[in-house]
Amino acid sequence: MSLANSGRRLVGKLRAENSVFLLCDIQERFRPLIWRGETVVTTSRYLTSVAKALDIPVVITQQYTKVFGDTVKDCFADPADLEKYPIFEKKKFSMCTEEVSEHMNSLNKESVILFGIEAHVCVQQTCLDLLEQGKDVHIIVDAASSQQAFDREIALQRMSQAGAFLTTAQSAAFMLMQSAEHANFKAVSKLTVEHMKLPNEFNEALTSSSKI
């Protein structure tokens, strides 16, 4: 590994041409069970829209679809976009199945933007597997959750301690562009403005706790 690459890995800078989005198991059966679940869904919609605007690949997994259902269509601004991305069925908790790993190798991306559910199970195990493979892993904290808030909190700490970068959807989006001179800056800015009009339960909880 070159010193340049080593430095980039250390600070976790994202580049659109070297990134991939991983959407982990945001399925219909889980939707009403997840803590701050609706914010996870709306933030996922923002992320997939950013991926589309910046032409970044998206990889989707579904955990035992027969039981837990399909990926929530509301994770996409246009439900038809769901058909454009590869969806991998799995029973393994980690997204890093043999099929997904083969697909990831074909994409040849170093930075992984990971979000989904549950944070302490499938997301965490995916994160650790990717870190072992030498990937830069960026966890979108406003698009990752569990059924219990405590499980989510400890999982975020665990992934950070292992070397993952915790970030927010907006932070990742603007880092991917790097400059207001980016050709798709206006499109992503518009997506951001619309996203900010929606309730963010994580932000509201933080604001409420700071007032106590």
* Distances, alpha carbon 106 to alpha carbons 23, 57, 103, 110, 132, in Å: 18, 11, 5, 12, 18
Mean pLDDT of the region 95-124: 97
Q: Residue 82 has which token pair?
A: 């769901």
SS3 13: coil
pLDDT band at 206 (very low <50, low <70, confident <90, very high): confident
81 is catalytic: no
Whether the CB-CB separation of 91 and 64 falls below 8 Å is answered with yes
pLDDT at 100 over 90: yes
Q: Which of 122, 129, 135, 142 is catalytic?
A: 122
Q: Residue 68 has which token pair?
A: 């837990």
The string of DSSP codes covering 22-67 is EEE--BTTTGGGSTTHHHHHHHHHHHHHHHHHHT--EEEEEESHHH
CA dihedral over 89, 95, 98, 103, signed as positive or negative: positive
CA dihedral over 110, 114, 118, 124, signed as positive or negative: positive
Q: What is the pTM of this model?
A: 0.92
Mean pLDDT of the region 60-82: 95
Segment (H or E) for 172: helix 169-177
pLDDT at 208 over 70: no
Q: Which of 25, 129, 136, 142 is catalytic?
A: 25
90 is catalytic: yes
Q: Which of 52, 90, 109, 135 is catalytic?
A: 90
pLDDT at 20 over 90: yes
SS3 148: coil
Q: Is the peptide bond before 204 cis (omega within 30 degrees of 0)?
A: no
pLDDT at 212: 34
